[in-house]
Amino acid sequence: MSGISLYYWPSLQGRGEFVRLALEDSGTEYVDEARHHGWDAIRPLLDGKHPGTRPFAPPILVIDGQQIAQTAAILHHLAPRLGLIPPDDQARLIALQHQLTVADLVAEVHETHHPVGTGLYYEDQRDEAQRRSASFRRDRMPKFLRYFEDVVQKGGGHAVSGEHTYVDLSLAQVMLGLAYAFPNAFAAFEPQVPGLRALRDRVVARPRISAYLASPRRLPFNEDGIFRHYPELDDDPADG
C-alpha cells in the first residue's frame, strides 16, 4: 500500500485531530479512511487483520504499508517527512517529550468527563466529573499551561528549537479545545499565558490551517470528543 491513511473515529476530532493538523499544515495528501468508509474501516486493524503490530486504539496511521498507533509516535514518525521538525535527533527527542506531555494533558481532559470509567456514560459519573473538573480547572490546567508557557517563552514563541513544529500545532489545538470545553475557566486563565495565545493565533492564521479550519474536513468540537462542553463542569461557585 502506498500513500498515507489515517484511521480515526469519523465523527469527532479527538486524538486524531493532532495528526490531521500535521497532515493539513504540511499540505500532505491523506485519506481519512473512516470518514470515507465508516468506522468499519478501523475494525480489521484493531482486530489484528492488517500486517504489522496490532494497535490498541485509534488514531492509527498506515504509511507505506506500515501501521503505527499512539498519537505521539505517529507524529514523531511523520514529522521529518512533513517538514515539521528540524532534522536533528535532539529536536526530535524534545518534540516527542513535549508531545507526550500533551498526551498526558489530553488524558486528564478526558477524565474531567469520564473520571470513573471510560466505558460508562457521562450521566452515570456526573458528580465525580464535577469534582474532577473543579480540580482540573483550578490546579491541573494552570500547571500544564504554565509549563508550556515557560517552554514557549524560552523557545522564542515556539515549543521546539525556535521553529514551527508539530508540537506548536498540538498546543494550538489544546488552547482551542480548552476554550471550547471550559469557556469560563479558560477565559479567566488565558491572560496568564500570552505566549501560548500568540502561538495559537499564529497557528490558526497559517494559510493551510486557516483553510482547513474553515473546511468541512474540520469537524466541530462536540460532546463525543475529548474536549466536551458540559456547562456544569465549567461552573462551580465554590471555585471562585
Ligand X SMILES: N[C@@H](CCC(=O)N[C@@H](CS)C(=O)NCC(=O)O)C(=O)O
Q: Which residues bind ligand X (CB under 6 A)?
A: 14-15, 57-59, 70-71, 103, 118
Listed in sequence order, the residues at least 6 apart from 134 whose beta carbon sits closer than 8 Å to its beta carbon are 236, 238, 239
Minimum CB distance to ligand X, residue 100 (Å) = 9
The residue (of 111 and 234) whose beta carbon lies closer to ligand X is 111
The residue (of 70 and 161) whose beta carbon lies closer to ligand X is 70
Q: Are 200 and 176 in contact (CB under 8 A)?
A: yes
Minimum CB distance to ligand X, residue 118 (Å) = 6
Minimum CB distance to ligand X, residue 185 (Å) = 23
The residue (of 134 and 167) whose beta carbon lies closer to ligand X is 167
Q: Are 195 and 175 in contact (CB under 8 A)?
A: no
Question: Is the backbone peptide bond immediately before 10 cis, with ω within 30 degrees of 0?
Answer: no
Residue 32 pairs in a beta bridge with 6
Minimum CB distance to ligand X, residue 167 (Å) = 14
Q: Among residues 102, 240, 112, 227, which one has the least CA distance to residue 168? A: 102
The residue (of 121 and 231) whose beta carbon lies closer to ligand X is 121
